[in-house]
């Protein structure tokens, strides 16, 4: 039996690229491209994208007979629900990894809406029928202005097979972005949490033997940044020992001070430009940590402001 799950996304800024990824071990394939104007509902909006995941699965004989005799498959059947979950998971991870890779800003939920028949099945891979009892989702997507490259595609394929998704720190920052206008205090609190979570995960990855320490109450973030043994990392930036640039540290100090005022009193003098500056610094911080991850993710440097990285320039 064949299955196909489709979603519509906003703000497809990958040009004419068709992003493809597969997990052959699970029989899953994904294709993501600009949505064609084929007259299907809902109406096409500017920069719509279309992401489609497909797979073939062997179902219990009882379900095969039911599908053949009645022409109906329901998502309420465990085997069909499991297919949906697998397809939805690889779609969500594909979108989140893609926007992380190209620094695509946007909310935490990567999907705008679904086409009329977004989850369908077929016995032969050519004639498709709607899976019964399936309710579509209507979510928000992202913005990206960075072109999709072959290097990005290779990264996405590799991370999908690892079972990876966008790091939690980046996801929390997206939630902060969503609250930026409607609830700036919440945005700032989430922004600081994104920085703290991102650094803890970085330390746990850099020194796995010390990860148990992070199950305990942790010291303040700035203190951890100063005490972290940066010289023990394998990577160097232009021959220099990496450490978090002062421009980021200064913004994080400001953010933590304001966060504490909000948490303890509910009051803080938070100007829009201050919040923007802080969230931009948190983004720089998370991509700086990405750059130092394991053997290094040099692509992350392109999403860090040049002014932040000026301290690592060669003399």
pLDDT along the chain (315 residues), means of 10: 93 85 95 91 86 95 89 92 94 90 74 87 92 60 63 94 94 91 90 96 85 65 91 87 94 95 80 92 96 84 91 71
Nearest Cα neighbor of 268 from 250, 255, 281, 251 is: 255
Residue 98 to residues 13, 128, 136, 223: CA-CA distances in angstroms? 11, 29, 23, 33
Could you tell me which residues come within 8 angstroms of residue 154 by beta carbon, excluding any fewer than 6 positions away? none
- The whole-number pLDDT of residue 274 equals 92
- The whole-number pLDDT of residue 295 equals 66
Contact 95, 10 (CB under 8 A): no
- The whole-number pLDDT of residue 141 equals 35
- The whole-number pLDDT of residue 144 equals 47
Start-to-end C-alpha separation, the chain:
63
Q: Which two structure tokens, joined as six digits, stand for 15?
A: 């040009």
Domains for the chain: give ranges and CATH numbers.
2-143 (no CATH), 167-312 (1.20.120)
Q: What are the E-state strand segments in 102-190?
A: 105-106, 119-122, 129-130, 142-143
- The whole-number pLDDT of residue 142 equals 37
pTM here is: 0.73
């Amino acid at each position: 039996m064949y299955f196909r799950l489709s979603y519509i996304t906003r703000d497809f800024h990958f040009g004419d690229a068709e992003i493809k990824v597969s997990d052959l071990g699970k029989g899953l394939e994904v294709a993501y491209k600009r949505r064609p104007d084929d007259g299907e509902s809902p109406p096409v909006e500017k920069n719509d994208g279309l992401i489609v995941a497909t797979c073939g699965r062997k179902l219990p004989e009882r379900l095969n007979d039911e599908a053949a005799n009645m022409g109906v498959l329901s998502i309420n059947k465990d085997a069909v629900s499991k297919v949906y979950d697998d397809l939805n998971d690889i779609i969500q991870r594909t979108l989140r990894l893609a926007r992380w890779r190209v620094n695509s800003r946007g909310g935490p939920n990567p999907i705008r809406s679904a086409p009329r028949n977004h989850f369908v099945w077929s016995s032969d891979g050519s004639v498709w029928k709607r899976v019964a009892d399936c309710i579509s989702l209507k979510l928000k997507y992202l913005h990206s202005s960075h072109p999709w490259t072959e290097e990005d595609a290779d990264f996405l394929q590799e991370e999908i097979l690892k079972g990876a998704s966008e790091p939690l720190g980046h996801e929390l920052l997206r939630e902060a972005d969503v609250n930026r206008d409607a609830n700036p205090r919440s945005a700032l609190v989430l922004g600081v949490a994104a920085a703290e979570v991102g650094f803890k995960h970085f330390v746990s990855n850099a020194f796995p033997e010390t990860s148990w320490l992070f199950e305990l109450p942790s010291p303040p973030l700035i203190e951890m940044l100063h005490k972290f043994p940066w010289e023990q990392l394998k990577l160097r930036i232009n021959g220099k020992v990496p450490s978090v640039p002062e421009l980021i540290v200064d913004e994080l100090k400001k953010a933590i001070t304001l966060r504490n005022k909000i948490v303890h009193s509910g009051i803080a003098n938070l100007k829009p430009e201050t919040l923007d500056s802080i969230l931009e610094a948190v983004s720089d911080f998370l991509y700086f940590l990405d750059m130092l991850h394991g053997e290094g993710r040099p692509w992350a440097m392109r999403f860090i402001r040049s002014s932040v990285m000026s301290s690592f320039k060669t003399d």
